[in-house]
Amino acid sequence: MSAVIDDDLWSAIGEPTRRRMLDILLAEGPGTATTLSERLPVTRQAVSKHLTVLDRVGLIHGAPEGRERRYRVDEAQLARAVAQLAEVGATWDARLQRIKRIAEAIQRKQEK
């Protein structure tokens, strides 16, 4: 595998609430901790903590707006995550194909 996998990025994406927050921001556009907490089964404080994690890995960026911060998805960073996932998927597809060929060869030997 040639691409470097960003473990912090994937750790952030791996949490279900954070994935749901990204879904909401992608579908509905920029939002605040308050607007997101209205859509999620967690407190505003929990949403704020999740936003901090997503911001730290660069998946979102917040800008001050009044008394809150409005968060937007960083499409370039999200595209980077998608590319990493595609590369990991391709690597595992190749590994599984090798395992399949080995298993088929073993089965052919046993059938003789």
Angle, CA 5 vertex, CA 89 and CA 70 arms, to 5°: 105
- At residue 89, the pLDDT reads 87
Q: What is the CATH number of domain 7-111?
A: 1.10.10.10
Q: What is the DSSP letter of 2?
A: -
Pairwise CA distance, residues 95 & 99, whole Å: 6
User: Is residue 11 over pLDDT 60?
Assistant: yes
Q: What average pLDDT is seen over the chain?
A: 92
Q: What is the residue extent of each domain of the chain?
A: 7-111
pLDDT confidence of residue 3: 56
Q: How confident is the model at residue 81 (pLDDT cuts 50, 70, 90)?
A: confident
Q: Evaluate whether 2 touches 13 at the Cβ level (below 8 Å).
A: no
Report the alpha-carbon distance of residue 51 to residue 41 in Å, rounded.
15
Residue range 34-65, pLDDT digits in tens: 999 999 999 999 999 999 999 999 999 999 99
Q: What is the pLDDT of residue 85?
A: 85
Please give the Cα distance from 109 to 103 (Å, whole number). 10
Q: Which residues, at least 6 apart from 58, have a Cβ–Cβ distance to it below 8 Å?
A: 9, 74, 77
